Chains A and B, each alone.
Chain A
Amino acid sequence: QKEVEQDPGPLSVPEGAIVSLNCTYSNSAFQYFMWYRQYSRKGPELLMYTYSSGNKEDGRFTAQVDKSSKYISLFIRDSQPSDSATYLCAMSAGGSYIPTFGRGTSLIVHP
């Protein structure tokens, strides 16, 4: 079992839909949870990160962590074609500078 599991997709949704992207993990030492967005032929860019359990909201994006279930989610409200990209989850243990990445989910938002 990989430390971080993420469905590669692709996930295809119509414009305006609510998107849910998810990762599961096995290492209970993970405390920091990050979401990166990667456009085609570009480097990943950090969208948001959360510490421990709970929700964090930033505009149309909400990150949710459930440590009891070892499950994290990224919700995108009112999705736009410009949100079409690969979304990578990443996580690390407290004090560690070495994150573990999921393999990314490809999202396609069609007009």
Chain B
Amino acid sequence: DTAVSQTPKYLVTQMGNDKSIKCEQNLGHDTMYWYKQDSKKFLKIMFSYNNKELIINETVPNRFSPKSPDKAHLNLHINSLELGDSAVYFCASTNNGREQYFGPGTRLTVT
């Protein structure tokens, strides 16, 4: 069974569009994350969320918004996509902040 899954795996879209990426974890973890990995492999945290608290990296544009329908899911919605949003987006989950389990990634290309 896949521990952390993401859909879609690849996403190609045009500038200005709105898109969502879905994430699900079956580990029973209470904290989930979204990360952005750029072309230089730098992994940057975007959001940390549990059922009590949302922590937002202040450098993330407000076009990005996390939505959590329940504890096992954390989706990422992006409005008005820009060329600079092209990257690989990873979802992760944890119970203790140290042992994070990552999804396989969503490769977003904005044309």
Minimum CB distance partner of B31 in chain A = A97
Interface size class of B (residues with CB under 8 A): 20 to 34
Q: Which of B4, B40, B42, B103 is packed against the most chain A CB atoms within 10 Å? A: B42
Q: Is A25 engaged at the interface, CB distance under 8 Å to the other chain?
A: no
Rounded to whole Å, the gap between the CB of B33 and the closest CB of chain A is: 9
Minimum CB distance partner of A41 in chain B = B105
Q: Is A86 engaged at the interface, CB distance under 8 Å to the other chain?
A: yes
Rounded to whole Å, the gap between the CB of A34 and the closest CB of chain B is: 6
Contact of A103 (CB < 8 Å), options: B40, B96, B101: B40
Question: Do A43 and B98 contact each other (CB < 8 Å), given the known contacts A88-B43, A97-B31, A99-B45?
Answer: no
Q: Which residues of A contact B40 (CB under 8 A)?
A: 8, 103
- Per DSSP, chain B at the interface is strand
| A44–B45 CB distance below 8 A | no
Q: Is B86 engaged at the interface, CB distance under 8 Å to the other chain?
A: no
The CA-CA distance from A110 to B44 in the complex, in Å, is 30
| B102–A92 CB distance below 8 A | no
Q: Which residues of A contact B4 (CB under 8 A)?
A: 43
Q: A44-B100, A92-B98, A98-B45 are in contact. List 13 more A-B contacts (CB 8 A).
A: A8-B40, A32-B97, A34-B99, A36-B100, A42-B104, A43-B90, A43-B102, A44-B90, A96-B97, A97-B96, A101-B43, A103-B42, A106-B41
Residues on B close to A: CB < 8 A?
A: 4, 31, 40-45, 48, 50, 55, 90, 92, 94, 96-105
